[in-house]
Amino acid sequence: MPNLSSFLLLFTVFLTSGIAVSGTVFTLQNSCPYTVWPGILSGNSNTLGDGGFPLTQGASVQLTAPQGWSGRFWARTGCNFDSTGHGNCVTGDCGGVLNCIGGGVPPTTLAEFTVQGDSGKDFYDVSLVDGYNVEMGIKPQGGSGDCRYAGCVADVNAVCPNELRIMDPNNNGVVAACKSACLAFNSPEFCCTEDHATPQTCSPTHYSAMFKSACPSAYSYAYDDATSTFTCSGSNYLITFCPTRS
């Protein structure tokens, strides 16, 4: 396995014309009892952490994003990569490479951000719209405004209906991830498409209600904005995989 440091892209505080310019610091912490391989998709050219890397149990990494950065983080599980960074993951795979250049294959729990740093309001959420694979939490550090904790700290795999389950091929009888109803059935009423493409015509279903009951502050379906989108200004963020349940 290549050294972890060779896969980390860290943006640092720098000086421009005598004025200190800093970004938003994301701390990724692995509290799972196993290694996860964070995947990172940036919405612009500022790729963080080379797109992905291994994070062993108990380890943490800091990545700094510039103002205006947007993107998402997720956990890949059950991965095996060779010395060239090629391989695969049981969940969250992003094209068979260690350093993701695209999004992860659902279902995955997503932490989504648009950050403005000191210049404005950040938006963030934890989304189960594409399904769930591991617990995840977002905790603002500093900042001003509402700045609430967002996350999914329940083991949704334990309550996942049979028709939504993805089983771990390497561990017989273990649920590796839980599909969304949209992913499982690809129908408009579950995907909020076609005649169901507006908030008025796409309502929660018993499947999205299951996700919402387990994780009240996470997105459970496409139009679950009211209780699932959070804002904060001038904050850094702690993203924890498998956070402690209170």
Per residue in 21-73, pLDDT (tens digit) is 478 999 999 999 999 999 999 987 778 999 999 999 999 999 999 989 999 99
The string of pLDDT tens digits covering residues 169-198 is: 988 889 999 999 999 999 999 999 999 999
Q: Is the pLDDT of residue 237 over 50?
A: yes
Q: Is the pLDDT of residue 20 over 50?
A: no
**Fold entry, domain 4-155+216-241:** Thaumatin (2.60.110)
Q: How is residue 105 written in tokens?
A: 């294959």
Domain ranges of the chain: 4-155+216-241
Q: pLDDT grade, residue 228 (50/70/90)?
A: very high
Q: Is the pLDDT of residue 1 over 60?
A: no
